[in-house]
Amino acid sequence: MSVYAIADLHLSFGVNKPMDIFFGWDNYVQKLEINWKKMVSEEDTVIIPGDISWGINYAEALPDLKWMDAMPGKKILLKGNHDLWWDTMGKNMRLKEENELNTIEFLFNNSFAVENIAVCGTRSWFFDAEKSADKKVLLREVGRLQRSIDGAVESGKEPVVFLHYPPLSLLEECEEIIECLVKNGMKRCYYGHMHGKAAIAAFNGEKYGIRFKLISADTLGFVPYLIEK
């Protein structure tokens, strides 16, 4: 049983917001479905770190969630900046139960033991969170990350961190998030959010003893990335 990850699916089955208008996104849902079914079995797990659906509420996002639920494997979803449909954990779980989304779980102040790893993480926030409102959100995200890491550590498996926003790039760093990763001894961190020309500045490699990897769907060619086999 393997663990894969791919961020930024930007599905829009319930709204008229196609990504095909952007360079490199032509027929992206078809590509994603073909690659997913080719690689992922029902026993595998796929982690999706944010920007899952363009829907702004449950009604608009539900067709996207049903599409994912029908795909092979268990899915662990993490909130992204465009996931305006995402609500409280209690409401998300009711949505899951009422619509029998049996292969979907939500990563939100918690963690999941999967094979040899423990999946943990949070949405995170901008590099330049200097305004008081932004700083408040960032510190809340750091707290959520810490709680998620704590749960992962308790499992006894290797904690592997997934974020939506990048914790660093070739030019900048989110000091608070990086500090949390370093002080907890994290070794692997996967993130999304960066696309197109912006992805040129993505940091892929090792720093502070942590291996970082951008896994936004377009940069992966819409092929789920193998995390653990």
Tokens of 223: 């092929």
What is the model's pLDDT at position 134?
Answer: 86
- Rounded Cα distance between 197 and 177, Å, is 24
CATH of the domain at 105: 3.60.21.10
Number of domains in the chain: 1
pTM of the full structure: 0.96
Residue 9: φ, ψ to 5°: -75, -30
What is the model's pLDDT at position 167?
Answer: 97
What is the model's pLDDT at position 61?
Answer: 98
Residue showing tokens 């319930």: 14
Specify whether the CB–CB gap between 198 and 172 falls below 8 A.
no
Instruction: Give the range of the structural domain holding residue 107, as residue numbers without chain letter.
Output: 3-228
Give the count of beta carbons closer than 10 Å to the beta carbon of residue 226. Answer: 12
What is the model's pLDDT at position 24?
Answer: 81
Q: Which of 204, 218, 209, 214 is nearest to 181 (CA)?
A: 209
Residue showing tokens 């500090």: 179
- List, for the chain, all residue ranges whose pLDDT scores fall below the cut of 50: none
What is the model's pLDDT at position 13?
Answer: 95
Q: Which of 179, 223, 220 is nearest to 202 (CA)?
A: 220
